[in-house]
Chain A
Amino acid sequence: NAGVTQTPKFQVLKTGQSMTLQCAQDMNHEYMSWYRQDPGMGLRLIHYSVGAGITDQGEVPNGYNVSRSTTEDFPLRLLSAAPSQTSVYFCASSLSGAGYGYTFGSGTRLTVV
């Protein structure tokens, strides 16, 4: 049981480049989310999905797109990378019932130069 798998683990981008951060889970979880973690600021929600075909914006969605074509996959696309997007990105998934916690991936450390 792999849990939540994120790729790549590390990435360096030049300003203006685009890329997709991959996230896959094999637990049949309905809920999936993307967070970014910056020093001293905890984790902030970027986008989330409550099921295949359904996505919504979180606290800091600007500059990012998501789609959820299958239950398993929830990729995060950076449209035109900016230095302010340098961060550690985490994907997480959860069952839909109350009381369930989220399972997090091991993160992608992104540097935009």
Chain B
Amino acid sequence: TQLLEQSPQFLSIQEGENLTVYCNSSSVFSSLQWYRQEPGEGPVLLVTVVTGGEVKKLKRLTFQFGDARKDSSLHITAAQPGDTGLYLCAGVSSGSARQLTFGSGTQLTVLP
């Protein structure tokens, strides 16, 4: 069973601060996805990173996939209250099934 450890579990910061969320595994994934989930809703895809060492930017969000494809990070610059939510990383298995293994999530609260 592939496991993903996500940290921190909870993060409360002031508006304008920067933050980084980490996602680590001992397993290699074919790709890694980041989702954001609002209360009462399903997760919504933010990004997919496929290549080891890949860096993707989505406005103030920067996603990085580790060189060995075992870990990833999400960095948010100048956080805003609208960034509040549950952030989930998910490793994609290799092979035809392409199933997701989720981390336990990071609950981010950005205070105004």
Contacts and interface: CB of A to CB of B under 8 A. Distances in A.
B99 interface: yes
Interface in B21-37: 30-31, 33, 35
A94 B31 CA distance: 14
B33 A101 contact: yes
A75 interface: no
Contact of B42 (A42, A96, A107): A107
B48 interface: yes
Interface in A55-106: 56, 58-59, 90, 92, 94, 96, 98-106
B45 interface: yes
Looking at chain A, what size class is its interface with the partner chain?
20 to 34
B60 interface: no
Given A42-B104, A92-B42, A48 B48 contact: no
B42 A50 contact: no
A43 interface: yes
A51 B48 CA distance: 22
27 contacts: A4-B42, A31-B98, A33-B99, A40-B9, A40-B104, A42-B4, A42-B102, A43-B88, A44-B102, A45-B100, A45-B101, A48-B97, A48-B99, A58-B99, A92-B42, A98-B50, A98-B98, A99-B31, A99-B48, A99-B50, A101-B45, A104-B35, A104-B42, A105-B42, A106-B41, A106-B42, A107-B41
Closest 9 CB pairs of A and B: A104-B42, A101-B45, A42-B102, A42-B104, A43-B102, A104-B43, A90-B42, A99-B48, A106-B42
